[in-house]
Structure 1
Amino acid sequence: MDHPDCHGGIADLAGLLQRVLCMFRMPGELDEAFAPVMPSVTNARLRLLLDAVHAHFAEHH
């Protein structure tokens, strides 16, 4: 199966997620920083999304 967005958009997303997680080393820091403007953005959700991207690349590429 061809995944045209994987090596562009999805790979870029993984990089952005990794940068955000590195900027906020402690889960509570990220959650607290985003709570006022984007409460759905949490450390746990970003890690889950990044894990899904990594799993996809490991399985399909």
Structure 2
Amino acid sequence: MPLIGWLILLAAFALVLGSLLFLKDSANMKIPEHRLEKIRKRKAELDEQEKQNGDDW
């Protein structure tokens, strides 16, 4: 394979590896407690609505 092919292959590998590392780092984001409480409250409301409507999957 010519040199340009190896360089393109190396660049593609570096892009994939860099993207995976970025995803790994961003996966550990902490959600503030007030937002978690809001999410839990909304989930409880939706669960209650589903019980009342009888909408089961």
- Does TM, scored on the shorter chain, surpass 0.5? no
Larger RCO: Structure 1 or Structure 2 (Cα < 8 Å, ≥ 6 residues apart)? 1
Give TM-score, length-normalised by structure 1: 0.38
Choose between structure 1 and 2: higher helix proportion.
2
Structure exhibiting the larger radius of gyration computed from Cα positions: 2
